[in-house]
Amino acid sequence: MKEELQKFFKGEIDDSDATLTAYSHDASIFEIRPQLVVFPKDSTDIQNLVRWVNEQKEKKTALSATLSLTVRAAGTCMSGGAINDSIIMDITRHMNEMISLSKDAQEAIVQPGMFYRDFEKETLAHGLVLPSYTASKSLNTVGGMVGNNSAGEITLTYGATRKYVKKLKVVFSDGYEYEVRPLTKKELYQKVAEPTFEGKVYKKIVELINENFTAIKKAKPNVSKNSAGYALWDVWDPEKADENTQHFDLAQLIVGSQGTLGIVTEITFSLVPIHPAHELLVVFLDETTHLGEIVDELLTYSPESLESYDDKTFKLAMQFFGDFIKTKGIGGTLRFALSFLPEFKMLITGGVPKLILLAEFTGEDIVETRVRAQNALAKMQSVGLKAHLTKNERESSKYWQMRRDSFALLRKHTKGRRTAPFIDDIIVRPEFLPEFLPKLNAILSEYKNIIYTIAGHAGNGNFHIIPLMDFNDPNTVPQILEISDRVYKLVLDYKGSITAEHNDGIIRTPYLSFMFGQHMYELFGETKKIFDPKTIFNPKKKFGATVEDIKHYIKKPDAPIVTHGS
């Protein structure tokens, strides 16, 4: 296969044992060894490779039956979306540049393999930001954000990645690149009339949505963010469409599809201005019984973000303090370390809070922003909670760093146990938290052998639960399946979603029919078939995976931990 690809592929092709081993993992609990890893130079490489796979599929050989392409960026996917057993396509080596950035238009055009940390440096220089950035923004790429419909700290105010994708360039399964953007009704029916693969995709998707619109509309999860399933409900509303308004947007379907419908080669993002005024309120909770009411109260003061992490996360940061502060550089390390003296005192005296809430208030006016933060502080103190406003950027950054870096620390330093993200991204509406959280804790507390941390986006009702599990224990896999069943049932009892921002991958695709019902799941299958009739792109993600796949692909006990890509 490698020799065949070298005839037309300009980028690198690697089948060495070390590379195949490294690309057998992402940040999930799974391990799948690919046959080949390729590094495309550009869109032409990708188009040629897709056409070659198409040709092989036509031959119907033993090889062609299992041949597929899985696009991979930073490899930080926690659901198993970036691994597969055929060809892995790493876009970070070459397709990683900012194409253009306009401050006036508040718009950036970028290649999908660009790391968000590099992207943000350029946007912040123009006073702009992509507000759906994730807690792992030092690791992930913008293409991964599009693939998963990622969201993060300020999603409470701004929404998830889908909202900021203006248009895409995508290689479809016919091996040609297309621009996908919002269309008016008139433009849509012109597109539908075209006798091309692209025209057929539009025609069939229009028919699928029109014929099933009531079911699709009803299936949309009633939460502030969702990455489960294919977002058919966001493509268009035929009841509201007119001739001149841009209603039909196929890009909304591509976003969050985990590379299963096509390969994104270029992204046009809309950006938002950063606010000059910032005030961080830190609230320490000794118990979580009234978390829902506290969140509701804080939301009345309009924070830009409302984040949380638990006592285990706090202790983890203190335990591995050297790693925690190493990114600060020699000059800033001492000052940053000294700012943690109150936290070390908490740890020594046993006064570590059960949960820490971070409510950040932002605005254009410094005085108005400070008043909102002070009013929120006064309210928290009036109900007997320990809370304070941070004094400067250094103090604020330590709390944010604990929130952002805990998962990486957990993965690096656990011995005998491994991080097991499988119920890592549940979401319910915040008003349900007073009932939901005690029931969730009751389920988890039954499993005495499992240690877990909780962090997340309290303002959205979105929590990341990361258990530590011993994969040498024969009970681990059955417990993963049992806990998933119980927690997802609880989530759906409160009309939530099994994944707000981490997506389905291998770990949650088997549960999509449980969440949406069999009819909607079959519509997801039809969607996949419309775009990818030969199953070229990232199979068993979003449709087709089973519980048996979860069992089969779980990492072996001695498998290495790989944080990202190459």
Query: 251-261: per-residue pLDDT in tens?
Result: 999 999 999 99
- CA pair distance 543, 521, nearest whole angstrom: 8
DSSP, collapsed to helix, strand or coil, labels residue 427 as strand
* Location of each CATH 3.30.70.2190 domain in the chain: 278-413
d(CA 133, CA 150): 7
Which residues of the chain form CATH 3.30.465.10? 98-273
Q: What is the mean pLDDT of residues 131-158?
A: 94
16-33 tens-digit pLDDT: 999 999 999 999 999 999
Query: What pLDDT is recorded for position 35?
Result: 97
pLDDT, residue 318, reads 67
- Cα(324)–Cα(402) distance, rounded to whole angstroms? 8
Mean pLDDT of 254-273: 98
- What the block records as the tokens of 424 is 């890592």
Least confident range from 207-216, 297-306, 310-319, 368-377: namely 310-319
- Within 10 A of 518 (CB to CB), how many other CB atoms are there? 10
Q: Which comes out higher in pLDDT, residue 402 or 507?
A: 507
Name the helix (H) or strand (E) containing 462: strand 462-469
Give the residue with greater pLDDT, 198 vs 395.
198
Average pLDDT over residues 95-107: 97
User: How large a percentage of the chain has pLDDT more than 70?
Assistant: 89
Averaged pLDDT, 307-336: 65
pLDDT of residue 440: 93
In this prediction, residue 55 carries a pLDDT of: 95
Buried b (16+ CB within 10 A) or exposed e, 534-565: bbbbbbbbbbebeeebbeebbbeeebeebbbb
Taking phi first (over 0 means left), then psi (-120 to 50 degrees means alpha), and beta for anything else, what does residue 220 get?
beta
**Sequence ranges of the chain with CATH classification 3.30.43.10:** 2-94+537-553
Q: Which of 89-93, 196-200, 307-311, 379-383 has the lowest mean pLDDT?
A: 307-311
- Decide yes or no: CATH 3.30.465.10 for domain 98-273: yes
CATH architecture of 278-413: 2-Layer Sandwich (3.30)
Three-class secondary structure of residue 451 per DSSP = strand
Distances (CA, A) of 308 to 67, 406, 430: 43, 12, 13
What is the DSSP code (8-state) at residue 273?
E
* pLDDT attached to residue 410: 62
pLDDT above 90 for 246: no
pLDDT digits (tens, 9 = 90+) for 341-371: 566 566 566 678 888 999 999 999 999 999 9
Per-residue confidence band for 529, with pLDDT thresholds at 50, 70 and 90:
very high
Of 95-109, 184-198, 349-363, 473-487, the poorest mean pLDDT is in 349-363
Cβ(20)–Cβ(33) below 8 Å: yes
Residue linked to tokens 């938290």: 433
pLDDT > 90: what percent of the chain? 74
Rounded CA separation 460/122 (Å) = 29
Mean pLDDT for the chain overall:
90
How confident is the model at residue 330, as a pLDDT? 42
C-alpha span between 279 and 161 (Å, rounded) = 25
Q: What is the pLDDT of residue 83?
A: 98
Is 542 within 8 Å of 511 (Cβ atoms)? Answer: no
315 versus 31: the higher-pLDDT residue is 31
- Confidence band of 70 (pLDDT split at 50, 70, 90): very high
Per-residue pLDDT band for 566 (boundaries 50, 70, 90) equals very low
State residue 282's pLDDT score. 94
DSSP H/E element including 362: strand 355-363
Global confidence as pTM: 0.92
- The answer to whether the Cα torsion of 173, 175, 176, 180 is positive or negative is positive
Q: Match domain 2-94+537-553 to its CATH number in 2.60.130.10, 3.30.43.10, 3.30.420.10, 3.40.50.300.
A: 3.30.43.10
Task: Find the mean pLDDT for residues 470-490.
Answer: 95
Identify the residue whose tokens are 């997801």. 524
* Widest Cα–Cα separation across the chain: 73
- Which stretches of 251-340 are DSSP H helices? 251-254, 291-299, 311-319, 321-325, 329-338
pLDDT tens digits, 381-434:
999 999 999 998 888 888 887 777 666 666 665 666 788 999 999 999 998 988
Q: Inform me whether the pLDDT recorded for 161 exceeds 60.
A: yes
